[in-house]
Amino acid sequence: MSIKRIGVLTSGGDAPGMNAAIRAVVRSGIYRGFQVYGIKKGYEGLLKGDMFEMNLRSVSDIMSRGGTILQTARSKDFATPEGVKRAARMAEVFQLDAIVVIGGDGSFRGARALAREGVNVIGIPATIDNDIGSTDYTIGFDTALNTVKDAIDKIKDTAYSHERCSVVEVMGRDAGYIALHCAIADGAEACILPEKKFDIDKDIIQPIIGCRNRGKHHYIVIIAEGVGGTMEIADQIKSITGISTTTTILGHLQRGGSPTVRDRVAASLMAVKATECLEAGERNKIIAEKNDRYISIDIEEALEMEKHIDESMIETSKMLSL
């Protein structure tokens, strides 16, 4: 079946670069002769039939903006078998030959549920967490890293001036990719990831004391949010070492901001690949970045794939903070 009309939605947590992906889906879709419908607020909008036809100018001047012009949601109604059936029926009402889903792992599970109801879906990975097994990279990761890097640079200025230990909690859900990359980029004295069991003495206190004995005067400890208990960890550092310790939970500021070049380019290339796959008659795929190339993977297969923290990066982070 050749594609005449597609829908595009953003779902789950927003990520910088989603707008660049929407723009490229719309422009490359129209270039290939498709009608493109923008679906508002993710699966919530699909359920309600809240969608509108987009044209080349609907996506002007959006690439530099963070967030998503289509808005996003974590839909409770869609998360039921009945909700998925209703959403699939609405796709039929609007005669959508395919839906492009821009989002993370949860959004792709939703897309797979729709695929099982007969809707043709294609996923574009976008989440600041970079935690999708099927792809080396997810849109938004680089911008979030740069935001965290800027924040920690600033925290370091004050930590140095007061000879403090700064505990910084970063996002990432159950994954430690943001934490680990920023530990290397900011020279953190300790970094605690959800993927690895930790021991406060060995993994935090000893590195801090060791660094102090080797002449350091301030310390950065990065905790990935999935570890939990950031405030308690900071309290323990203070009470065991006697070093003045502050805690900063960076929170949602990590999700905003103008996307970096890395994210704009990845979003544009992944979206163009998505419409190329649709034009070629591919069904139910996830776009992935693998070894600097963009490929499509069957959605069922993609959702079985796992990703693991690179142990050598953990060692490197420790070595360079000595």
Q: Which positions lie near ligand F6P, rule CB under 6 A?
A: 13, 104, 127-129, 171-173, 225, 255
State how far the Cα of 3 lies from the Cα of 25, in Å rounded to an integer: 14
Q: What is the Cα–Cα distance from 127 to 244, expressed in whole angstroms?
A: 35
Euclidean distance between CA atoms 84 and 319, whole angstroms: 49
CB of 172 to ligand F6P, least distance (A): 5
SS (H, E, C) 73-97: CCCCCCCCHHHHHHHHHHHHHCCCC
CA distance linking residue 25 with residue 277, whole number of Å: 12
Residue closer to ligand F6P (CB basis): 13 or 259? 13
- φ, ψ for residue 296 (rounded to 5)? -115, 140
Task: Give the nearer residue to ligand F6P in terms of CB position, either 73 or 209.
Answer: 73
Are 3 and 34 contacting, i.e. CB atoms less than 8 angstroms apart?
Answer: yes
Which is closer to ligand F6P, CB of 126 or CB of 278? 126
Q: Residue 68 and residue 13: Cα distance in Å, rounded?
A: 10
Smallest separation, CB 322 to ligand F6P (Å) = 30
Q: Coil, strand or helix: which one is 303? A: coil
**Residue of 14, 50, 105, 129 marked catalytic:** 129
How many beta carbons lie within 10 A of that of residue 33, not counting itself? 10
Q: Judge whether 206 and 235 are in contact, CB under 8 Å.
A: no
Q: Least distance from C-beta 45 to ligand F6P, angstroms?
A: 17
Catalytic annotation present for 129: yes
Rank residues 72 and 284 by Cβ distance to ligand F6P and give the closer one.
72
* SS3 state of residue 272: helix
Shortest Å distance, C-beta 178 to ligand F6P: 7
Query: Which of 54/111 has CB closer to ligand F6P?
Result: 111
In whole angstroms, how close is the CB of 129 to ligand F6P at the nearest point? 5
- Asked whether the beta carbons of 101 and 292 are under 8 A apart, the reply is no
The three-point CA angle 317-289-29 to 5° equals: 145
- Kindly state the DSSP code that residue 201 receives in the 8-state scheme: I
- 29 versus 66: smaller Cβ distance to ligand F6P: 66
Considering the complex, state which of residue 113 and residue 179 has its C-beta at the smaller distance from ligand F6P.
179
CB 80 within 8 A of CB 72: no
Minimal distance, residue 173 CB to ligand F6P, in Å: 4
4, 35 in Cβ contact below 8 A? yes
Helix/strand/coil for 112 = helix
* Active site members: 129
